[in-house]
């Protein structure tokens, strides 16, 4: 910038100064305008750049938004599919819930049935327990009965052994003493034909009969009253038998009289028998007449009159009656054990045979 000179140029320079000032002002204004313009351009450029950036960002956002919309559409489709699956699952769940309810009802019914079955099972178990208790009681009773049966069997065997021993001893002792007599192997009875003791039709004991008794009786009693046997003998029986001639009553009297005659001689007049044996014999001896109630038959089934007329000596053991009762008990026990183990009923005692009459009837002639 040029500065005016002072003095002469003062007046001309004031105008120039005005224009200079104006020029400077205009320069300043132009500069200001240019600066403003540049600023505006700069702002425009900046704003345009920012706008473009914004546009680019918006495009990117729109692209991202489009992509997101596509993803959202896909997600919506997937969500719809999931909703359909959920709806189907809900339907399946409802169906399963219904089935579960039915299953629960079935389980409840099954539990009730099971409870009923359990009650029936408990009742059955109680019944089984009662049956087991009853069975145990029955087994106990059976064991007791079996023990009783074993004991009775042992007694039977012992008694059978005693009888067999006495029969063997009688047979051997009679044989050793030369006495011809046959001992029944079943019951030990000894049978003599009546003509050994009596004449035909007579009930009077003959001398030969008395002599035979004197020989026979001591030997017979030596066996029955021996220390090993006397405790078992409860009765000695003399029986008279006849043939079928004449009536039963007449033969009954004849058989009774003959049995009585033999018994009387045995107790009162026989020899070879000690007083002690006679005393003992009085407590055991009985005499019975059988008429022709038990005849002896021949091979053709006809009555053998000679053999039927006989006198029989037999003995009974102390437990003969008990043997009969025990046999009945054993038979009843065996039958009841198959059905129900109840104690065997006691057998009624066997009726005792009537003692012989004390009177001596008149001789009979019938045989």
Percent of the chain with pLDDT over 70: 81
Write down the pLDDT at residue 361: 45
Nearest residue to 198 via CA among 190, 214, 181, 210: 210
When pLDDT is cut at 50, 70 and 90, the band that residue 92 belongs to is confident
Write down the pLDDT at residue 209: 94
Q: Is the separation of the CB atoms in 200 and 306 below 8 Å?
A: no
Q: Considering the chain, what is the average pLDDT of its residues?
A: 82
When pLDDT is cut at 50, 70 and 90, the band that residue 347 belongs to is very low
Q: Is the separation of the CB atoms in 145 and 333 below 8 Å?
A: yes
pLDDT value at 356 more than 50: no
pLDDT value at 77 more than 80: yes
pLDDT digits (tens, 9 = 90+) for 258-304: 999 999 999 998 888 999 999 999 999 999 999 999 999 999 999 99
| Tokens at 191, concatenated | 């049978």
When pLDDT is cut at 50, 70 and 90, the band that residue 355 belongs to is very low
Choose from 82-96, 256-270, 335-349 the range with maximum mean pLDDT. Answer: 256-270
Write down the pLDDT at residue 358: 43
pLDDT value at 202 more than 60: yes
When pLDDT is cut at 50, 70 and 90, the band that residue 146 belongs to is confident
pLDDT value at 336 more than 80: no
pLDDT value at 343 more than 50: no
Q: Give Cα 63 distance to the centre of its chain.
A: 93
What is the average per-residue pLDDT within 238-254?
A: 95
- Lookup result for tokens 């003995």: 315
Write down the pLDDT at residue 290: 96
In sign, the C-alpha dihedral spanning 159, 328, 184, 270 is positive
Distance of alpha carbon 264 from alpha carbon 205, whole angstroms = 10
Which residues have a Cβ under 8 Å from the Cβ of 131 and sit 6 or more positions away? none
pLDDT digits (tens, 9 = 90+) for 294-309: 999 999 999 999 999 9
pLDDT digits (tens, 9 = 90+) for 155-170: 666 666 889 999 999 9
Percent of the chain with pLDDT over 90: 37
Write down the pLDDT at residue 2: 53
What is the average per-residue pLDDT within 17-29?
A: 75
What is the average per-residue pLDDT within 38-45?
A: 81
Distance of alpha carbon 138 from alpha carbon 131, whole angstroms = 10
When pLDDT is cut at 50, 70 and 90, the band that residue 359 belongs to is very low
What is the average per-residue pLDDT within 333-352?
A: 52
Annotate 160-175 with DSSP letters as a single string. HHHHHHHHHHHHHHHH
Write down the pLDDT at residue 129: 87
Write down the pLDDT at residue 294: 94
Greater model confidence, 32 or 353: 32
């Amino acid at each position: 910038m040029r500065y005016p000179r002072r003095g002469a140029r003062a007046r001309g320079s004031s105008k120039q100064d005005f224009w200079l000032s104006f020029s400077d002002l205009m320069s300043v204004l132009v500069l200001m305008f240019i600066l403003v313009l540049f600023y505006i351009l700069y702002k425009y450029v900046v704003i345009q750049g920012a706008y473009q950036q914004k546009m680019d960002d918006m495009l990117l956002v729109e692209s991202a938004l489009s992509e997101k919309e596509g993803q959202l559409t896909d997600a919506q489709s997937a969500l719809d599919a999931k909703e359909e699956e959920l709806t189907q699952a809900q339907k399946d769940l409802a169906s399963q819930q219904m089935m579960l309810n039915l299953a629960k009802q079935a389980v409840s019914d099954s539990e009730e049935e099971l409870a009923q079955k359990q009650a029936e099972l408990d009742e059955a178990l109680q019944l089984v327990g009662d049956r087991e208790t009853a069975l145990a009681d029955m087994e106990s009773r059976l064991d007791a009965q079996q023990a009783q049966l074993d004991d009775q069997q042992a007694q039977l065997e012992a008694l059978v052994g005693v009888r067999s021993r006495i029969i063997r001893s009688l047979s051997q002792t009679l044989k050793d003493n030369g006495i011809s007599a046959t001992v029944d192997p079943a019951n030990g009875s000894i049978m003599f034909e009546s003509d050994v003791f009596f004449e035909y039709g007579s009930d009077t004991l003959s001398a030969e009969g008395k002599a035979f008794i004197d020989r026979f009786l001591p030997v017979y009693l030596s066996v029955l009253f021996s220390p090993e046997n006397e405790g078992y003998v409860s009765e000695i029986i003399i029986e008279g038998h006849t043939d079928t001639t004449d009536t039963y009553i007449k033969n009954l009297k004849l058989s009774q009289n003959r049995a009585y005659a033999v018994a009387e001689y045995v107790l009162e007049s026989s020899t070879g028998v000690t007083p002690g044996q006679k005393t003992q014999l009085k407590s055991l001896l009985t005499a019975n007449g059988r008429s022709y109630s038990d005849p002896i038959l021949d091979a053709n089934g006809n009555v053998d009159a000679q053999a039927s007329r006989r006198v029989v000596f037999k003995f009974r053991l102390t437990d003969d009656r008990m043997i009969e009762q025990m046999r009945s008990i054993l038979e009843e026990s065996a039958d009841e054990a198959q059905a129900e183990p109840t104690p065997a009923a006691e057998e009624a005692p066997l009726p005792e045979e009537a003692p012989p009459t004390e009177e001596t009837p008149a001789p009979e002639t019938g045989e």
